[in-house]
Homo-oligomer: A and B are copies of this chain.
Amino acid sequence: MPQYCILFLFFLIFFSSSSHASVQDFCVADLKGPDGPAGYPCKSPANVTVSDFVFSGLAKGGNTTNIIQAAVTPAFVAQFPGVNGLGLSMARLDLAPGGVIPFHTHPGASEILVVTRGHITAGFVSSASTVYLETLKKGDVMVFPQGLLHFQVNAAKIHSSAFVSFSSASPGLQILDFALFANNLPSALVGQTTFLDLAQIKKLKGVLGGTG
């Protein structure tokens, strides 16, 4: 095949310039760089290896020995730089018996959930205040539209778990109770803007470490 080999050299020459233009197939995050509205700067392709595209942190569930008896383990761009710029990320939910992922939103992404163990009661509320509520079995999939309040509750007597995917590498996670009670927003202002009783507010501020 010696003739082929000579031709091969020509082949390489001509495509090498064009393939050079194609480096932005992906943009693995350089987390040290300043991020921008579209994500982090790209790690040099020369330094990218397969390990940038693989994440093992979801293999085990988080510790559920806590007030909610549940854990959210994220694989967002901050944990998994390979998703930078790809419009996708994941997380793992673990709910011990009685566990709850309380009301929360993802300001920048829709979410799709698949149950991998147990049963999970999940729900979201629309702008029209309609509730979409379902108890999901293993293998069931549910989608939560972007930015809407939703929650997940263990509906089994055993540990339940799920994988969730997001339509953004950086979906955000705003937990309602933390937003309302785990900061220094004055209790009176919380009351005025939520119609909750002051005693209720102060009680939850106490639990969640809020002041004011």
Instruction: Give A residues with C-beta under 8 Å from B.
Output: 1, 4-5, 7-8, 10-15, 17-27, 30, 33-42, 44-45, 49-51, 53-60, 62-63, 65-68, 70-80, 82-91, 100, 102-103, 105-108, 110-112, 114, 116, 121, 123-134, 136-149, 151, 153, 163, 165-167, 170-180, 182-185, 189, 192-197, 200, 203-204, 206-209
Contact = CB atoms under 8 A, between A and B. Distances in A.
Copy number in the complex reads 6
Contacts of A203: 1, 197
Interface SS of A by simple majority: mixed
28 contacts: A8-B67, A10-B66, A17-B74, A18-B74, A21-B74, A21-B77, A21-B78, A22-B170, A25-B108, A25-B172, A37-B39, A37-B40, A49-B132, A53-B142, A54-B140, A55-B140, A56-B140, A56-B141, A80-B141, A82-B143, A88-B143, A105-B107, A105-B149, A106-B147, A116-B116, A131-B185, A196-B200, A200-B200
